[in-house]
Chain A
Amino acid sequence: MKNKKYTNIHFILLLTLGIALFSSCERDFSDDVEFATFSANGDIFTDAPVGLTDEFFDSFDPNEGANPEGFGTDDNVAFEGSSSIRIDVPAPDDPDGGFIGGIFLDRGAGRDLTGFDALTFYVKGSTTATIGEVGFGTDFGQNKFAVTAQNIRLSTDWRKIIIPIPDPSKLIQERGMFFFSAGTQTTGGFGYTFWIDELRFEKLGTIAQPSPAILNGVDVVQQAFTGSNLLVNGLTQTFNLESGINQTVIAAPSYFDFNSSDNSVAIVNELGQVSVIGTGTANITAQLVGVRASGSLEVTSAGSLALAPTPTRPAANVKSIFSEAYTADTSSNFAPGFGGSTTETVITNNNGDNVLAYTNNNFTGIIFDNTVDASGLTFMHVDVYVQEGGTEVGLQIRDAGANQMIETDVNTGNPIGDDVDLRFDLTGLTVGQWTSFDIPLDGDLTAQRDNLGGLILVGGPNFIFDNIYFYTE
């Protein structure tokens, strides 16, 4: 033990000497070498903001509910030094705004972050809430190299958070130093406080084993048409950290190199936007720093898709779910991800008109975010397009009842509780053209259709929908 204390003293002495010598070395070095003009300082906040704009915190738009008042520094709380960033997360009904979020921008032209491999900081909460999103690269401009980590768990003690940089070599001039967004989703609407300290980019050397993904790592097969525009989304990069934890971040498309296996069928740009330009099949894949991303998009185009017939009914007589012709009565979940569902659902832009393309459907649904009161309406309209003969789709129009909850017997698929439904088979479809259906809201819906909760779609397996709406003549 005594021996070791000696070591300490020696160590400190040596270190001091070492630092003195180092700095003289660096001066010599920079005499000979011209460095990039952008600052390579990784510090963002230590006891005060470092090289940030005078605003320091640039809030999201208060008109969209962001609360710009809950941000400040706290001289009574610090992980290290004397001060920390203090963020007071408001309750959803706070008159100043129901959530808090924004960015920190470099006050200069941007920083050279190529020498770092992670954004790190210490954080502690007044309670064990979860921060929705933190990251960097968001600059309220192009957000070209934005990175987001989700669901940061707070502890009531300080905890170090590590957000890996998907590819540091891209960050030669980055202004977006920090980004966060927090609400009270995990605290039942009760506001809380969290503190951030020692916020900086670091070279940890322990960020390893990259495992990038596109389309969340799923191999998606999709029908498309010449003129279709698709987006490769679900872009992530995952690194193994020193702790053994695999940390996934959402990475902007510009970190990836996209590739199409057949540029005469589909081309993909640096933002992951796919344009289908010819007939045939193309496989869209991507790499990140030379590592092949898991997940791919196989698009098959049989030619061009005609536009569905343009709806002509007056908007006053219509409550729309999915159509360019009308304002939607409610937003909907078009990919509810039912357990056991094999369906891939994509909203495809076909020459300016969005259509709903279903591939490999066994069963899926369109779940209305708010129930639709169709008590004054008498029909449901849908346009259906198929490319294979014999395709039939089972449609179930569900009323969720007064409790507005969709309740289903998981064994039979039948409505239970106060739910009722109407079932209708979309048959007699002609290959290569649109078929329009106007389905009377009769049967069990005759008496109960004031809380329509969604549509269930069975079979197919491949078909395209457009212009889904309820109406009265």
Chain B
Amino acid sequence: MNMKYFKINTIQSTVLKCLIIMAVWTISGCSTDETQTVATFTNLVLDENFDTDGAPNSQVWGFDIGTGENGWGNQELQYYTDRPDNVTIQNGILLITARQESFENSQYTSARLLTKDKFEQQYGRFEARIRLPFGQGIWPAFWMLGADIDENPWPGAGEIDIMEYRGQNPTVLIGSVHGPGYSGGEAISKEYTLENDRFDTGFHIFGIEWGPEFVNFYVDDVLYNQITPEDVTGEWVFNKPFYILMNLAVGGTFVGSPNAETEFPQTMLVDYVRVYKNNAD
């Protein structure tokens, strides 16, 4: 319901101011309840525009290398590298590219960037403008993990998936939180289907607004979900700093394996990553 609503709002926004006002009033009347905290994250603290060609800024971005344990816990098929073949900046765009090639006993290579120990923050607005790849078995993600994960293993550390997507469902975005008692297949999750458009044909902005006791999920100008402590089936573990991850996985339990029709290479294009925090913080 919310989605359709916002769409109408968008279409008419230039035409009818009074209608917008009506719509906004109606939205707030339906999509929020009395307990919601309205966030005002206006203080830009990370403005990563990938303006310098070559490798990403090592002050902000590190890499996971290899296959992790059991394909990063999901039986993923790719080997992550930091080679320019898999991750590079060109013309102001970060390119994360999954390739089909034999490499260190894996059949695919790709990349995973993370800001662990480099940029970690509690609460704020986290957003990225991304054009996604497509095809069976392609699994890009823009997500966050609790910064205490080394002492407090997953799922206890908590995970916020700002954007996950299956290449075989090119119009469907998935936003989730994972924590103790609600992880993996039991994550608190919601899908959003883009109407009359796809995520692999143009850039879209994927974001969350995260404060004490809530995470709001956005795509472009659409707020499509809010998760609060009442929604999770375990402890709320989102009152501490998190770091950012961006990766392009191939195969694994979430998407299934690529098939003969999956075209390689596949590239996830990231125009920018921005993080805001509350002025009052």
Contacts and interface: CB of A to CB of B under 8 A. Distances in A.
A associates with B: yes
A11 B169 CA distance: 27
A17 B19 contact: yes
Contact of B19 (A4, A18, A246): A18
B15 A206 contact: no
Interface string A17-33: 11001000100000000
B60 interface: no
Interface in A177-210: 203-206, 208-209
B15 A10 contact: no
Contacts of A205: 195-198
Contacts of B11: 18
Contacts of A10: 26, 29-30
A6 interface: yes
A203 B197 CA distance: 10
Interface stretch (B1-9, B142-150, B235-243, B269-277): B1-9
Contacts of B22: 14
A206 B197 contact: yes
B16 interface: yes
Interface residues of B, number: 34
A7 interface: yes
A25 B15 contact: yes
B64 interface: no
B200 A244 contact: no
A7 B5 contact: yes
Given A7-B1, A8-B1, A204 B30 contact: no
B29 A6 contact: yes
B170 interface: yes
A75 interface: no
A14 B19 contact: yes
Contacts of B33: 3
Interface string A225-255: 0000000000000001010101000000000
B261 A7 contact: no
Nearest to B30: A7
A291 interface: no
Contact of A240 (B5, B29, B134): B134
A11 B22 CA distance: 11
Interface in B12-53: 12, 15-16, 19, 22-23, 26, 29-31, 33
Contacts of A14: 5, 8, 19, 22-23, 26
Nearest to A240: B134
A242 B198 contact: yes
B257 interface: no
Contacts of A209: 134, 200-201
A132 to B, nearest CB: 23
Nearest to B193: A242
Contact of B12 (A11, A18, A203): A18
B233 interface: no
Contacts of B226: none
Given A8-B1, A206-B196, A209-B200, A18 B8 contact: yes
B136 interface: yes
B80 to A, nearest CB: 25
Nearest to B172: A242
Contacts of A242: 170-171, 198
A306 interface: no
B127 to A, nearest CB: 23
B1 A4 contact: yes
B8 A15 contact: yes
Contacts of A6: 29-30
Interface string B138-177: 0000000000000000000000000000111111000000
Nearest to B5: A11
Contacts of A25: 15
Interface string B63-81: 0000000000000000000
A400 B46 CA distance: 77
A175 B276 CA distance: 55
Nearest to B195: A205
A336 to B, nearest CB: 24
Contact of B30 (A4, A15, A208, A246): A4
A6 to B, nearest CB: 6
A208 B198 contact: yes
Contacts of B15: 21, 25
A208 B131 CA distance: 13
Contact of A246 (B31, B198, B261): B261
Nearest to A15: B8
A244 B196 contact: no
A206 B263 CA distance: 18
Contacts of A7: 1-2, 5, 26, 30-31
A329 B220 CA distance: 67
Interface of A: 3-4, 6-8, 10-11, 14-15, 17-18, 21, 25, 203-206, 208-209, 211, 240, 242, 244, 246
Given A14-B22, A208-B198, A208-B201, 10 more contacts: A4-B30, A6-B29, A7-B1, A14-B5, A17-B19, A18-B19, A203-B196, A205-B196, A209-B200, A244-B170
Interface of B: 1-2, 4-5, 8, 11-12, 15-16, 19, 22-23, 26, 29-31, 33, 134-136, 166-171, 195-198, 200-201, 261, 263
**Which 5 pairs across A and B sit closest by C-beta, in order of nearness?**
A205-B196, A244-B168, A7-B30, A10-B26, A7-B1
28 contacts: A3-B33, A7-B2, A7-B26, A7-B30, A8-B1, A10-B30, A11-B1, A11-B8, A14-B5, A14-B8, A14-B19, A14-B22, A14-B23, A17-B19, A18-B19, A21-B12, A21-B15, A205-B198, A206-B171, A208-B134, A208-B170, A211-B263, A240-B134, A240-B170, A242-B170, A242-B171, A244-B166, A244-B170
